[in-house]
Amino acid sequence: MTYALSSFFWFVVVTGILVTWHEFGHFWVARRLGVKTTNFAVGFGPSLFARTGKDGTEYAVKAIPLGGYVKFIDSREAEVLPADIPFAFDKQPIWKRSLIVLAGPVANLLLTLAAFTLMFMLGKEDLRLVVGTSSGAAATAGLVRYDEIIKVGDVAIGGIGEATLELVHQGYSKQKVLLTVRDVRSDAIRTLTMDLSQLPEKFDEKDPLAAMGITGFHRDADTLVDALTPDFPAALAGVRPGDRIIAVNNLPVARFSDFVKTLNEQANRAEGRVELTIERGGARSLLAVTAKKIPASAETSVPMWRLGMGFKNYTVTKRLGLNAAALESGRSCYYLFKRTMSAIGALLSGEASLKNVAGPITIAQAAEATASAGAAQFLWFLGLVSLSLFVVNLLPIPVLDGGQLMFFMMEWLKGSPLSQNTQFAGQIVGLLAILGLMLLAFYNDLARVFGVA
C-alpha cells in the first residue's frame, strides 16, 4: 500500500509539472499575441481548486491528473462579445494560431533541456554495460563476462541506458552490428560482430539485452561488498566494504545470484541465522549473522532475507559545468529524439511490438523508482517523459497539437478554413485513435502488473 501511494504521489508530481508547463506554453504565447483566455486547467473532471484572476481567466486544478487544457475565446464555440472579436483565437492569422499551438510542445522541449542540464550539473550516475553472462547472439559474437560494451557501431556508449537504446535501434534492422568492447580487468579493447538476424520478429524490448543474450554484470555481480545499509545485519555484524563473501554456511557463493539463493535457503532453516565465510586482505574468517526478513513488495513476490549488503558494480558518473552541461543536454535531446522517432516508426511498420506502449501505471512506477534514486535520476526521467510529450504532441493526429498544425497547413494551402464538418470528422477520428492508444497502454500496464505480458 505504501509503495502504491508513493507511486501515485510521484505520478501526480510528474504529470502536474509536465502538463502545467505544456499548457503554460500555449497560455503565455497566446497572451503575448493578443488572444484572450477563459480557462487554464490542470487535469480533468470536477475542480479541486478554482480561482478567477484579474485577467478574467479561471485557473483550476481538476480531480483527474491526466492532461489539462487552455481555453481561448473562440467564436466557433460560443457567442463572443463584439469588443472581444479581435482577441478571439479563430480570428487570428494562421501564423499566430500556429505559434500558439506550437508553444505547448516547445515548452516541453525547453523543459527537457533544462532538466537534462541540471541533471548533468548534479552528476548522473549510470551503470556501465558490463557483461555478466552471455548466450544466444551475444555468446556467438564472443561476448564474455567482464566485457564492457563501449561502442555500438559508430555510437560511443556512456552507460547502460545509451547502450540499450542503441541496441534496440540496431535490433529493428535485424542485421549485423559491430561492437567495441573493453575488458574491465585488463583494459584490453577488441571488436566483435553480433548478428541480430536471428532475433524474433518482434523481440522483447522490455528487456532487449536478454533478447540478445546479454545479462548485465549488475544483475549477477561478484560477491565483493561495495556498500552497507546502516543498522542492517551485515553492518552490525562487522562486514566491511572490500570484503568478499566466499560462502554461506560453507556453501560456495561466487556471484550475486548464488548468494541470494543460498542465503534465503539457509536463513529459512534457522530463523535467519547463517555463517558467512569472508575474505579480507587475503585472509579468511567466519562471521555469524542473523538476516532480516523483508516482506513481499513490488520487486519481490515473496518475503526475502536480507543482510543489507551491496556488491560492487561498474558505474560511470557524468558531472559537468553549466556550459558543458547545456551542450551535453542538447546532444542528448537530439539523440533521444532520433531514437524516439525510430521507435515510433518501428511501431507503425510492425517491426516493434505494441506491448511496448506504456501507460500511467508504468509511468507512476518509474517516477517513484527514479525519485527514490535521487534528484539526478528523477530529472532524467522527467526530461525523458517531457521529450516524449514533445514528440507525441507534434504527431499529425487531430485533437493533438500536431493535428491542429496540420489543419492550419491545409487551410493555408486551400486559402480558406476547412469546413466545420471536415474538422469535426477529423477530431472524431483523432479522438478514437487516442482513446485506442490509451486503452492499449492501460492493458499493457495491467498485463505487466499481473504478469501476463
DSSP letter string, 405-449: HHHHHHHHHHTSPPPHHHHHHHHHHHHHHHHHHHHHHHHHHHHHH
Inform me whether the pLDDT recorded for 150 exceeds 60.
Answer: yes
Q: What angle in degrees, to the nearest 10, is found between the helix axes of 375-393 and 360-373?
A: 150
CB atoms within 10 A of CB 271: 10
Read off the pLDDT of each residue in 288-292 and give the average, rounded to a whole number: 91
Give the CATH superfamily of 225-302. PDZ domain (2.30.42.10)
pLDDT(283) > 80? yes
CB 340 within 8 A of CB 348: no
pLDDT at 439 over 80: no
d(C-alpha 309, C-alpha 326), whole Å: 36
Catalytic-labelled residue, pool 23, 148, 162, 166: 23
Q: What percent of the chain has pLDDT over 90?
A: 38
Predicted confidence (pLDDT) per residue in 229-276, tens digit: 988 999 998 999 999 999 999 999 989 989 999 999 998 888 889 999
Full DSSP string of 81-120: -GGGGGG-GGGS-HHHHHHHHHHHHHHHHHHHHHHHHHHH
pLDDT of residue 354: 66
Q: What is the pLDDT of residue 448?
A: 63
Q: Which residue's entry shows cell 560477491?
A: 223
**pLDDT of amino acid 30:** 93
| Three-state secondary-structure class, residue 288 | strand
Q: State mean pLDDT over 78-98.
A: 87
Q: Read off the pLDDT of each residue in 81-110 and give the average, rounded to a whole number.
A: 91
Residues of the chain with CATH 2.30.42.10: 125-218+313-318, 225-302
Nearest to 62 by CA among 71, 49, 75: 49
Quote the CA–CA distance of 121 and 376 in Å, as a whole number.
9
Retrieve residue 396's grid coordinates: 499529425
CA 67: distance to chain centroid?
18
Q: Region 268-293: what's the mean pLDDT?
A: 90
Whether the pTM exceeds 0.95: the reply is no
Q: Which of 331, 344, 346, 357 is nearest to 170 (CA)?
A: 346
Q: Taking 60 as the threshold, does the pLDDT of residue 447 lie above it?
A: yes
Give the DSSP H or E segment for 19.
helix 2-32
Provide the pLDDT for residue 125.
84
Give alpha helix (H) positions in 374-416. Answer: 375-393, 401-414
pLDDT tens per residue, range 411-432: 888 888 777 777 778 778 777 7
Q: Which CATH class is domain 125-218+313-318?
A: mainly beta
DSSP reduced 3-state for 301: coil
Under DSSP, the state recorded for 217 is G
Q: State the chain's mean pLDDT as an integer.
A: 86
Helix (H, G, I), strand (E, B) or coil at 56: coil
Contact 330, 416 (CB under 8 A): no
The pLDDT assigned to 207 comes to 75
The amino acid at 396: P
Contact by Cβ (8 Å): 129, 157? yes
Beta strands 131-134; 292-294: pairing state: unpaired
User: In whole angstroms, what is the distance from residue 52 CA to residue 328 CA?
Assistant: 41
> Can you tell me the distance from the alpha carbon of 6 to that of 286, in angstroms, rounded to the nearest whole number?
40
Query: Mean pLDDT throughout 85-108?
Result: 92
Judge whether 201 counts as a catalytic residue: no
pLDDT band, very low/low/confident/very high, at 288 (cuts 50, 70, 90): very high
pLDDT tens column, 13-25: 888 899 899 999 9
